[in-house]
Structure 1
Amino acid sequence: MSGPEGRFVVVPAAYVFLLRDGLAGPEVLLQLRRGTGYMDGHWAAAAAGHVERGETAYDAAEREAREEVGVEGLDLQLVTAMQRTGGGEPIDERIDFFFTSYTWLGEPRIVEPEKCADMRWWPLEALPDPVVPHELAVLRAVRSGTATPYTTFGFRGDR
């Protein structure tokens, strides 16, 4: 992608993994995507979306949680910033900011049924299949405690 004057441009996005303590360990709230044109039929973060002009990734995460899950007042913890490429797909260069939160106000629910076929809590040790691949990589790192401040996905020699 290129922007004004041919400069390289990336698309920033913010993701929120709502977590809770379950009987068998930590659980994550995931949505089943539909009608979006991207990874429909895959489980994904309950709240995620583009960071808008003039908005911080933290603000975008709060906004997406409110718009997509109906919760606010999150205690956002940054897990990782992921530089991602899709190998030539229309959305081929991204910077994704992944957050977790164990606390929020409100009861999580499906707010956009045209984009979400289902929403469920899943144990981190028993995630559904399929999960959006780059999100699965982050969830595995959260589960194992191996998340790093910066990660890559889709590049040769990913970290």
Structure 2
Amino acid sequence: MTDRFVLVPASYVYLLREGDAGTEVLLQLRQGTPYMDGHWAAAAAGHVERGETAYDAARREALEELGVTDVSLDLEFTMQRTQHGEPIDERVDWFFTARSWTGTPRVVEPDKAAAIEWFPLSALPEPMVPHEACALAHLSSGAVYLTFGF
């Protein structure tokens, strides 16, 4: 019998606004974390905790990482991803966008983020966390389910 995998859930929040070059997304430059330091990623994201919905996790992460509240979330899609390694490498991610929130986004956890910056969706920075680059490429595509790593 094969070992069943352990599913690790996470929520991602892409704050969006209109800029001179079209729609812009707020991204963070990761630092001091065990995963993808030096890469650009969602300005707010994290694991869904026990007893928490993906929506609740997204709102919590927006507050913890950016200091914003009243985030008006739109579910874009779910992504199932794998690295074909250990059971912990099996993931499910919920990607949300928001165009409305209360407060000014700022780096709340400087030990985990070197900076936050707005980028046009048409000109994303490099390097990006690979599965997030895939997610951003599918925003507004109408897809409800994505896979990565299969």
By the TM > 0.5 criterion, same fold?
yes
Give the Cα separation in 1 of the matches to 2:104 and 2:96.
19
Q: Report SS of the residue matched to 1:40.
A: coil
Q: 1:89/1:29 Cα in 2 relative to 1: closer, same or farther (>3 Å)?
A: farther
Paired residue type of 2:29: L
Stretches of structure 1 that go unaligned for 5 or more consecutive residues are none
Matches within 5 A, 1:8-157: 8-88=5-85, 91-142=88-139, 145-155=140-150
86-95 vs 15-24, which moves further: 86-95
Q: 1:114/1:90 Cα in 2 relative to 1: closer, same or farther (>3 Å)?
A: farther
CA RMSD of aligned residues (A): 1.5
Give the Cα separation in 2 of the matches to 1:36 and 1:47.
14
Give the Cα separation in 2 of the matches to 1:146 and 1:7.
32
Q: Report SS of the residue matched to 1:17.
A: strand
Q: Report SS of the residue matched to 1:16.
A: strand
Cα deviation, residue 147, structure 1: 4.2
Say whether the 8 Å CA contact 1:138–1:147 is kept in structure 2: no
Give the Cα separation in 2 of the matches to 1:132 and 1:90.
21
Cα deviation, residue 8, structure 1: 3.1
Stretches of structure 2 that go unaligned for 5 or more consecutive residues are none
- TM-score calculated relative to the size of structure 1: 0.90
Cα deviation, residue 89, structure 1: 5.8
Q: 1:36/1:82 Cα in 2 relative to 1: closer, same or farther (>3 Å)?
A: same
Paired residue type of 1:137: C
Say whether the 8 Å CA contact 1:81–1:97 is kept in structure 2: yes
Q: Report SS of the residue matched to 2:138.
A: helix
Q: Report SS of the residue matched to 1:79.
A: strand
The count of corresponding residues between Structure 1 and Structure 2 is 149
Q: Say which structure, 1 or 2, has more relative contact order (CA 8 Å, 6+ apart).
A: 2
Cα deviation, residue 86, structure 1: 1.7
Cα deviation, residue 37, structure 1: 1.0
